[in-house]
Amino acid sequence: MNALMIVLFLILALLASSLKVLREYERGVIFQLGRFWKVKGPGLILVIPVIQQMVRVDLRTVVFDVPTQDVISRDNVSVKVNAVIYFRVIDPQKAIINVEDFFAATSQLAQTTLRSVLGQHELDEMLAERDKLNRDIQEILDAQTDSWGIKVSNVEIKHIDLDESMIRAMARQAEAERERRAKIIHAEGEKQAADTLVQAARELAEQPESLQLRYLQTLLEIAGDRSSTIVFPLPMELIKPLLGDRPSKKD
């Protein structure tokens, strides 16, 4: 009786150890006598002890923070760059069989690709074209990790850190650029004002009456609301159009 209880206990223990529960986001890669058999899950699955072995694979997106990398740009500027990568397993069989540790392999590949891609661009491009650089790195990583059953969905460059001397140099450059634009705008304004004055002078020369009205308007502006008397010369050119041709006296 005791022997039967022991056998029954062993059978129950063996059965319990052979039952595996996989969550919705998990898959089990089953090896039978050392050879790949199939991918199972999710739910309750049976794994025959000794004969079969199971490796769990998580299919959820992994957020990996790439450590800060020292990068030398194409214009020989040293910067420190870090990024974040989003990837997930889409083929559990490849992720387990084709690479020893898919997480470590993707991590190392991300670091080298980040240095390689950014090193082909100048500093201004790194700062102004992050979206394009993100896409370039993502496409390269996605293509190289495809054989590992990995899908790299997104890459985001987080920080591009410069040393203090470079920051000061960029500040001076930006200030010089602002001064250059201000001088250009001022020169364009002066040119437009000069063109307008030339056009006004031509119109006044063609219409003497306009010049007379302008003269009177200027006198009005000088007088303003002052009660003092202003004495000014009256050019004969202003009176002649008003007098007209007067008949000469006959003897």
Q: What percent of the chain has pLDDT over 90?
A: 40
pLDDT in tens, 102-131: 999 999 999 999 999 999 998 888 888 999
Residue 212 has pLDDT above 70, yes or no: no
User: How would residue 101 be classed by pLDDT, with cut points 50, 70 and 90?
Assistant: very high
Residue 99: which residues within 8 A CB-CB, separation 6 or more? 105, 148
| The pair of three-digit structure tokens given for residue 98, joined into one six-digit string | 């084709």
Q: Which of 4-8, 47-51, 207-211, 232-236 has the highest mean pLDDT?
A: 47-51
Per-residue pLDDT, 251:
44
| Rounded CA separation 197/15 (Å) | 101
Nearest to 62 by CA among 160, 133, 148, 124: 148
User: Where are the extended beta strands (E) located within the chain?
Assistant: 19-22, 26-32, 35-40, 43-46, 52-58, 62-72, 78-89, 150-161
Per-residue pLDDT, 56:
94
pTM listed for this prediction? 0.65
pLDDT in tens, 154-188: 999 988 888 776 656 666 766 777 788 888 888 88
Residue 228 has pLDDT above 80, yes or no: no
